[in-house]
Amino acid sequence: MDSAAGKAAPRKRADARRNEQTLLDAAAAAFLASGVDVPVRDIAAQAGVGVGTIYRHFPTRADLVVAVYRHQVEACAEAGPALLASGGSPHAALARWIDLFVDFLVTKHGLAEALQSDDAAFQSLHAYFLNRLVPVCARLLETAAAAGEVRPEVHAYELMRGVGNLCIGAGRDPRYDARRLVGLLIEGLRPTREE
């Protein structure tokens, strides 16, 4: 909604949305390969557009980082219901979603530092992350608990925090396999035989 005029903001054309998605995907790949300080010209080349096109969509690097982060949070959030609907067991859906969440966490080269900066563009991202992903994880946990596949006392925020802590430094030590430990954690959510 355009608050100044009281009119609905114009929707982007389908090709403009596709172009923006292409830019976000290219930026995410560049951030993964080289960190968030990768030159914009490299992102533009990967997306097959000119540098001006990137700046037209994202006037500052902070705008681009925020858009990539939101894009990836949305992809993770949308995956939860899709995995539940795919017909596998609720525990399998939870495990696959946690695997996607781990991918999200361990591929944020430089994003953590950027998010800790004083740039106002980054201030609301952590709340956005929690508001979008905790309910998805909660639904997966509730469905798995209702099916008797995970312990009912597991809380989404605690699980996500634990997974996040296991992922700290995952890319810096080749002897440390965060994904293996997260897999053990997810298997440990199953109820014991006495329960």
**Residues 96 and 157: beta-carbon distance below 8 Å:** no
Per-residue pLDDT band at 147 (split at 50, 70, 90): very high
DSSP string covering 74-134, please? HHHHHHHHHHHHTSS-HHHHHHHHHHHHHHHHHT-TTHHHHHTSS-GGGTTHHHHHHHHHH
Q: Hey, where are the domains in the chain? A: 11-59, 60-188
Q: How confident is the model over 2-17, as a mean pLDDT?
A: 59
Euclidean distance between CA atoms 166 and 182, whole angstroms: 7
Considering the entire predicted model, what is its pTM? Answer: 0.81
Per-residue pLDDT band at 4 (split at 50, 70, 90): very low
Whether the per-residue pLDDT at 3 is higher than 50: the answer is no
pLDDT in tens, 36-82: 889 999 999 999 989 998 999 899 888 898 899 899 999 999 999 99
Computed over every residue of the chain, the mean pLDDT equals 86
Per-residue pLDDT band at 86 (split at 50, 70, 90): very high
pLDDT of residue 51: 92
What is 60-188's CATH number? 1.10.357.10
pLDDT in tens, 110-136: 565 566 566 666 668 888 989 999 999
Q: Which CATH number fits domain 11-59: 3.30.1070, 3.40.720, 1.10.10, 1.10.287?
A: 1.10.10
pLDDT of residue 2: 45
Where is pLDDT greater, at 19 or 64? 64
pLDDT in tens, 88-115: 899 999 999 999 999 888 776 556 556 6
Q: Give the number of other CB atoms < 10 A from CB of residue 99.
A: 17
Counting residues of the chain whose pLDDT is more than 90, the rounded percentage is: 53
